[in-house]
Structure formats: structure tokens, C-alpha cells
Amino acid sequence: MVRHKHQNLEHLIDFFAAISRFAEIIRDVIIRAPLIFKNPDLTIRQMRIIGIESIPLVIITSIFIGAEVVVQANFQFQGLVPMRYLGFVVSKSLISELAPVITAFVVSSRISTGIAAELGSMKNSEQLDAMTCLSLDSTRYIIVPKVIASIIMLPVLVIISEFFGYMASIIFVHFFIDVTMNTYLEGLRLFFSPNDMILGVLKTSVFGGIIAFCGAYFGLECAKGAEGIGDATTRAVMLSAILILIFDFVIAILFL
Amino acid sequence: MKDTILKLEHVKKNFGPKTVLHDVNIEIMRGEITCIIGQSGHGKSVILKNIMGLMKPDGGRIIYNGKVISSPITPDSEYDKVRQKFGLLFQGAALFDSMTVGDNIGFTLRERTNLTEDEIQARIRNGLSMVGLHNIEHQMPAELSGGMRSRVGLARAVAMEPDIMLYDEPTSALDPIMSDKINDLILGLRQKLNMTSIVITHDMSSAYKIADRICMLHNGKIIFQGTPAQIRASRNSYIQQFISGKRKLFYAMGADQEMDKQVNLSSIHKEAHKKTFGGVTELKVVPKKRTVGDI
Ligand SMILES: Nc1ncnc2c1ncn2[C@@H]1O[C@H](COP(=O)(O)OP(=O)(O)OP(=O)(O)O)[C@@H](O)[C@H]1O
Ligand SMILES: [Mg+2]
């Protein structure tokens, strides 16, 4: 019984140690953030990897999101809600929740795992130690560019996602749904609110930070061996998914 | 008169419940090449990482030029001041695999020195040709063989011209001819730049060739420290077994349990010797000029 209590206590201590380590990484990154202007090429390279190379993924997902919202709304509305509200529902759900959150999820599955795996293997092959030996600050040269690139590129990806989502919904309505294009577009336009859109885009910067920090944290804490790296990537994507939802909720409460 | 540049005093290191370094005392003289030998897994790399400031000792202290740079209570900032005086060649080279070979060597030079880009390019070329590599600046580390990586790692570490170079098994991934070149290189660096070197190696012929002093690590303790001639003359069975690669004798002595008694040369008594060998005096562990009777 005593031993059991003891173990719980140890878990609790580990938990707080992990949180403080996470906070430490965030602090270290914030302190070094201004230094990115000294090596802009590092950040630009990460923006390409994190942002540009995610575009195909984002486009495919957003096309299906756009079409799916139309199908669902159309189905639920049948005989209950006038079809001129179809555009309204699609627009609201796409800009305020679906595009930002699902894009963040999809990108996180690519980026937070990528960062965790890269840092984990750098740690295991002693590359991080080698940087320390050469008086190179690994946080500054490796982690900061990824975090900044992620924070900058996620909003861009979401804008792309929203654009393709809209396009897909319009095309889908045109071909498959029994609503005139005018009615639909009218609905889209009528209830379009720039504030929703701005909030939806900006909050993805927060998601971008979450994605990069989760990847960095689990990469740095990675245990030795291939299993360690596999573990790190899984945890990174799990934690970033949870944190994205939590922060989405918090932002909704704060700003709506 | 040679002075001490680096001194490890009673250095201790634990990983969880496991103690890897019990009590390591090493003295490194300026401009000398010290080889550390010892069995795999006995903590040689851990010693280097402690010297390099990648780990902090759990006990004891490390003194560089008369100043304590690392101990359980010294802050990291103390070490950061002298970090650039040390260079380390990692056991697995540890090249940055997202950068080309040229950038691997040039990155620190760009970030940490005021050299112009032309000077940096020249240094990269010089460094690579010094280790016998040419025209590979634009290749990625993944395209290189193990031996080439370790040579690039060496070029990278030496590019900053450290005071003390640490080599973690620099020749174990190389063919004999290349090993010999690397040994010459280590000797050459001492001659040209008066660089102090600490070399971990399993290869006794390299050790004899380059070492001014050999330290032997066993179970987390330095059990021998002396010149190559002295280690050859050592009458400790374990040391003899290690340096000549013969196993029989060591087993005959009852292996590990006897080891600690055998460690200290003065503690080898005639009695113990008799007991172990049961009167077989033919089994001499005794090199040059001395006989069993002298002990
Ligand atoms: N970061 C670490 N965490 C836990 N244990 C470690 C760590 N680094 C080393 N060890 C342990 O310390 C011991 C000594 O390791 P070390 O790498 O120094 O051996 P070595 O003498 O260099 O061997 P080799 O000749 O094979 O390189 C090993 O048992 C290893 O498991
Ligand atoms: Mg080793």
C-alpha cells in the first residue's frame, strides 16, 4: 500500500518535471526567437518543408471537407431548414472550425512527427551533442526555425484550405445538390464575417506553435533506439492533437 | 618542463543506480598524446563526455589550466567559457546529416569566427585534404562510408583549432593504411600546433605509435597510467592480456574476482601468486630483466 502511494507520487513528480521541461523549451525558444534574422535561410528552409510541402496534403483534405459539409448540411436540412441557409452553414463551419482544426490535425500528423523524428535521431546519433561541442546552440539553429516556420505557415495553409474548401463546396453544390447556384452563393456571402475568418486563421498560429513544440519536446526526450523514435513520434502527434482541441476551446471561450 | 593542462580528480559518474565511473584520476600534460584503453562498455566514452562538458560528473572535478571547469557544483557557464578550447571526434562521427560535408565543417566557422567566406572555403578544403578527402564538399553525409564520415568529423573538430583534441576511437572504422595516416595526423597536429590529444583506442599498435602516456580503464577506475614502455613492462596479468590480446592467462588467474588485488602492483604478493598458479612457475607474467623471484 505504501509502495503504491509512493509510485503515484513518483508519477506525479514525473508529470510536473515533464511540464517544467516543456515550459523550459518554450522559454528557450522565445528568448532566441529574435536571432532568426541572423540566419534567415534556416527558417526559410523550414517554411518550405513545413509549409510548401504540406500544400498537396492540405488541398486534398480541404476538398473533401468542403464536399462533406455540403452533403451533411443538405441531408440534415431536408424539409426542416430552408436551403438558402446552406451557404451559411458551410461558410461558418468551414471558416471557424473545420478548416483550421482539421488542417492543423493533418499538418500535425506530418510536422510534429517529422520534428520529433528528426530531433530524436539527431539526439541518438549524438548530433545534438556535437553541436554543443562546437559551441553551436541547437535550440537556436534547429528548434527555433521550425517553431517560427510552423507559426507562420499554418495560417497560410489554412487560407489555402479554406479557398479549396469553398471551391469544392461550390462545385459539389452545382453538380449534385438541388439548390441553385445563386441561392447558395447568396447564403455564403450574406453571412460571411471577416472577423470569424481572421480569428479562424490567427488561431492556427497557436496550433502551429503547439505542433512544433510537441515535436521538439518529444524529440529531445526521445529514448535510444528505433523504438524510442517511434514512441516519440506517436506521443508528439497525440499530445499535439489534444492540445489543439484544448486551445481551440479556450480560444473560442475567450474570443466569441 | 611539461605542465599539466587537464586534470581529472576522483571523477565519478552514475547512470541511475549503475555507477560507470568509480574514481577516475588522470593527468594530461600539455602537448602530450594520452591514450585511454579499456574494454568496451567500461566508460571510456563517458570520460570524454565528461571532459567535453556534455555530462557533469556526479563527484570529483575536472581542472583545466588550474581552473575547475566541471564538478557537481560548478555552473554550466563556467564550462562555456572554455568550451572552444576542446574539440571532440565522436565515435560515430556525429555529422549533421541535413548539411553537406562542406557546411558540416564550415557552419561553426561561419557562426563562431570572423573569417571571410573565401577563408572559410579554404579552411574546409585544407581540412578535408588533411584527412585525405578531396572534392566531397557537396556530398551529404549519408553518401559517405563510415571511415570517410569519421575523417570528416575529424576535419570538423580540428577546423576550430582547439587546444585539446579528444578522439573517440578514431581508427576503429578505418583500414590499416588509413589508420596509420590518422595516427600520423594526430602526431602532426601536435608537432604543428602543439595540440594536446586524448585518444581512446582499442588498437594497441596505434597506441604504441602515438602515445606519450597510456591510461587503462577497468571497471570505472584507472588501473594503470604510464608510458608505453611501462605498460609493456607491467606485470599485471589483466593488462598483459589486454595489450597482447591473449586470454588464457587471465582466466587462469580466476578472472574478475582476483582483478582488484592484481590492480595494484605493490599488492601482488608472492603468496598470492603461488596460490593462484599452484606452484607453476613456468607461467611467467614477467617481462624483461625481472624474474618472479624479485617480487
Ligand atoms: N547516456 C547514458 N545513459 C545511460 N547509460 C549510459 C549512457 N552513456 C553511457 N552509458 C553506460 O555507460 C557504460 C559505458 O559506456 P561507454 O559508452 O563509455 O563505453 P565505452 O568504454 O566507450 O565502450 P566502447 O568501447 O564500446 O565505445 C555503458 O554500460 C553504458 O550503458
Ligand atoms: Mg565508446
Residue A105: name the closest of A232, A227, A248, A220 by CA.
A248
Cα B39 to middle of ligand 1, angstroms: 11
**Residue of B53, B84, B94 lying closest to A130 (CB–CB):** B94
Residue type at position B188? G
**Residue of B83, B94, B157 lying closest to A127 (CB–CB):** B94
For A154-193, the pLDDT digits (tens) are 999 999 999 999 999 999 998 888 888 888 888 888 878 8
> With the C-alpha atoms ordered A152, A157, A160, A162, is the resulting torsion angle positive or negative?
negative
Instruction: Specify the 3-state DSSP secondary structure of B88.
Output: strand
Closest-CA residue of A relative to B92 is: A125
Give the Cα separation of B182 and B148 in Å (integer): 12
Co-location of B281 and B155 in the same domain:
no
Nearest CA to ligand 1 atom 24: B40
Predicted local confidence at residue A178, as pLDDT:
82
Residue B183: name the closest of B175, B47, B29 by CA.
B175
Which ligand 1 atom sits nearest the alpha carbon of residue B91? Answer: 27
Co-location of B270 and B230 in the same domain:
no
Co-location of B123 and B264 in the same domain:
no
For A73-116, the pLDDT digits (tens) are 888 888 888 888 888 888 888 988 999 999 999 999 999 999 99
**Nearest CA of chain B to the CA of A10: how many Å?**
15
Choice among A91-95, A140-144, A252-256, B257-261 with the minimum mean pLDDT: B257-261
Q: Is B63 exposed, middle or buried (0-12, 13-18, 19+ CB in 10 A)?
A: middle
Predicted local confidence at residue A213, as pLDDT:
97
Co-location of B231 and B267 in the same domain:
no
Co-location of B236 and B268 in the same domain:
no
Q: Which of B244, B267, B282 is the last residue of a domain?
A: B244
Closest-CA residue of A relative to B80 is: A135
| Beta-strand pair B221-226/B196-200 | unpaired
Which ligand 1 atom sits nearest the alpha carbon of residue B47? Answer: 18
Predicted local confidence at residue B265, as pLDDT:
46
Taking CB atoms and an 8 Å limit, are A130 and B107 in contact across chains?
A: no
Q: Which of B202, B217, B244 is the last residue of a domain?
A: B244
Give the Cα separation of B152 and B132 in Å (integer): 10
Predicted local confidence at residue A214, as pLDDT:
97
Average model confidence (pLDDT) for chain A? 92
Q: Which of B211, B227, B244 is the last residue of a domain?
A: B244
Co-location of B255 and B145 in the same domain:
no
pLDDT in tens, chain B (295 residues): 578 999 999 999 999 899 999 999 999 999 999 999 999 989 999 999 999 999 999 999 999 999 999 999 999 888 988 999 999 999 888 999 999 999 999 999 999 989 999 999 999 999 999 888 999 999 999 999 888 998 999 999 999 889 999 999 998 878 888 888 889 989 988 888 889 999 999 888 899 999 999 999 998 999 999 999 999 998 888 888 888 877 654 444 444 445 555 555 444 455 555 555 555 544 455 555 555 555 4
Question: What is the number of domains present in chain B?
Answer: 2
Co-location of B158 and B197 in the same domain:
yes
Question: Where are chain A's structural domains?
Answer: 1-30, 41-255
Co-location of B157 and B263 in the same domain:
no
Give the Cα separation of B244 and A179 in Å (integer): 90
Nearest CA to ligand 1 atom 14: B43
For A211-248, the pLDDT digits (tens) are 999 999 999 999 988 899 999 999 999 999 999 999 99
Cα A121 to middle of ligand 2, angstroms: 18
* CATH number of B112's domain: 3.40.50.300
Co-location of B122 and B156 in the same domain:
yes
Residue A171 in grid coordinates? 462545385
Residue type at position B243? I
Q: Radius of gyration (Cα) for chain A, nearest Å?
A: 22
Co-location of B275 and B179 in the same domain:
no
Taking CB atoms and an 8 Å limit, are B52 and A133 in contact across chains?
A: yes
Domain that holds residue B28: 4-244
Closest-CA residue of A relative to B160 is: A134
